[in-house]
Amino acid sequence: MAKKYEALAKDIVKLVGGNENIVSMHHCQTRIRFKLKDDNKADTQAITDLDGVSQVLNKGGMYQVVVGMQVAEIYEEVEKLVDLKEDGKSEEGKEKQKAFDVVSDFVSSIFSPIVPALAGAGMVKALLALLTAFNLVDKSSQTYILINMIGDATFAFMPILLGYTTAQKLKCNPILAAVTAGIMCHATWTGLVSAGEPVKFLGLIPLYLVRYTGSVIPIVLVILVQAPVEKWLNKVIPASVRLVFVPMITFIVMGILALSVLGPLGDYVGKIFTAIFTWLSGNVGWLETGLMGGLYSTLVIFGLHHGLAPLGTMQMAQMGYDGIFGPGVLCANIGQGTASLITGLLSKDSKTRQIGTSAGITGLMGTTEPALYGINVPKKYPLIAGAIGAACGGLFAGLTHTHRYATGSSGLPAVVMYIGEGTLKYFYNICIALLITIVITAILTVIFFRKYEKEDKNEEVVEVKGEEFEMPVKGEVLPMSASKDEAFSSEAMGKGAVVEPSEGVVRAPFDGEVLVAFPTGHAIGLKSNNGTELLIHIGIDTVEMNGDGFELKVRQGDKIRKGQELVKFDHKKIEAAGHPTQTMIVVTNTASYESVELKDNKITVK
């Protein structure tokens, strides 16, 4: 499946400055995030112009290429082209990062891998709450005890999970880190803590009686120290005995340090965080969730939202629930999804209707980037309507101290995460908060639509007007399915035709304008006076030729006349470079028409 994105991946890697300019990379739900050595080497405009790229952002120390829901498949192809250094970093990359970015990246890196465990544990607890709420399981029964144990395991052994992920982030041995965490959670130590009698190592070093099961901060502090200690031991101990003595010394040294200094210090810091979270939830919870609901989607647009995500995960890990991040983000996503959906349903423009409704449904399920970039940001008023509705919903969630017991996607299915502690109160509260968000957003979207979409009917007349045009390139005309590039043959980019060119000239098939003129000359985007949007792509993977063999005769924004020469190209050079010369003629706004047909070597849109 990912193979069809091979050409796009090559273009992205090349235009961000090539393999040598990439320090590290990862992806989220809709975008590939690069950390570059030099942002100035990236050609942002050229990347934005690529078919398949929605937007490019450079925020928070990350160069972000927004590609939509196919991000995992595109990233798979990008990975094949990028050979990162073992540590994934460089000194140049480190210098570019701000303190906030470093902390945010570290916290996200150690908590993100355990999110599935937190989500699963939270859902087990939610199931148990439902079973007890409807008297299906008695709290004194062994069934209740066993299910509760299953749900508690993630939280009880949190230090082991975080020890492992922190070690991965710090590039030290994660198994040794997990064992150190196991020392802190060992039943013997728990028994000594419960006994309450003073404990001293060698009769001299006091070990403070702190219970570490379920803790978060202590193990992170311990591994921050263990990482350099372990690396130093690996350097000074001979390779012949390293396998035995490095782990032994690490366990003894770090075990005592963890129980005497680092663990108690981390416990104290953890108590401070708990006190802060408790105070915020009890005193200004309405403000937090209201602001999160109203502002979160704007942060998503600029790629800054990932700096806030650790707040919810940390509160979940520290206290067993999240009342800051989860409710506000859920309202924000539902608000933007609703705004996009209502805009699509109200619009008479077929393209807006298709994008708005599909992206709106996706937004309601928890992924808002298609709605944001496809409808809400370009039109502006849906973004504002969704933000206001979400702020109102978030305000209600905050006033009622609503919180979730599991983490996961923030869409409508997430409401079950608000079931816990043997009560359905927060489940009902979040449902009311979302109802407030949806109603207010819908009302505002309708009002704004009537005010700002006065020319909707005129747009429809232009969009549905049909026309017929000949191929812009002379040669053998084939159906789109004959393309050797799956991205075209699958018609994912639109319907049209393929031409095996007999001469190296592209001529305008109609009167109109140049929408996009790629600097390399291998592709050009046109729009006719009747509204047809056409992509002419010369050859396959010819972007790699860097313009050699292509002569672009027009610029973006130029008006064109039917028959006018647009591009000249050299078949022999294309073939010599190992690329097929097939030229794809794609109606990129296919969705705006009832039919796009190839007949008698002509394309007809109706």
Q: Token pair for residue 249?
A: 């010394």
3-state secondary structure of 353: helix
Closest CA to 395 of 339, 442, 436, 427: 436
d(CA 437, CA 479): 47
Q: How many helices and strands (H and E) does the chain possess? A: 24, 19
Name the phi and psi angles at 415, rounded to 5.
Answer: -60, -25
Residue 486 in contact with residue 4, Cβ under 8 Å? Answer: yes
Which residue in 305, 306, 537, 579 is the catalytic one? 537
d(CA 572, CA 561): 28
Helix, strand, coil share (%) of the chain residues, nearest 5 = 60, 15, 25
**Beta-ladder partners of 514:** 526
Which residue in 28, 172, 185, 392 is the catalytic one? 28
Q: Token pair for residue 589?
A: 């706004």
CA angle at 192 for the pair 190 and 198, rounded to the nearest 5°: 140
Phi/psi region, residue 487 (left: phi>0; alpha: psi -120 to 50; beta: rest), is alpha
Name the phi and psi angles at 604, rounded to 5.
Answer: -115, 130
Concatenated DSSP letters for 148-173? HHHHHHHHHTHHHHHHHHHHHHHTS-
For residue 272, what are the contacts with CB-CB under 8 A and spacing of at least 6? none
d(CA 360, CA 374): 10
28 is catalytic: yes
Closest CA to 331 of 446, 443, 449, 439: 439
Residue 127 in contact with residue 424, Cβ under 8 Å? Answer: no
For residue 583, what are the contacts with CB-CB under 8 A and spacing of at least 6? 473, 475, 498, 499, 500, 501, 506, 536, 537, 538, 539
Q: Token pair for residue 114?
A: 């355990």
Closest CA to 9 of 57, 62, 70, 98: 70
537 is catalytic: yes
Residue 419 in contact with residue 431, Cβ under 8 Å? Answer: no
Active site residues: 28, 537
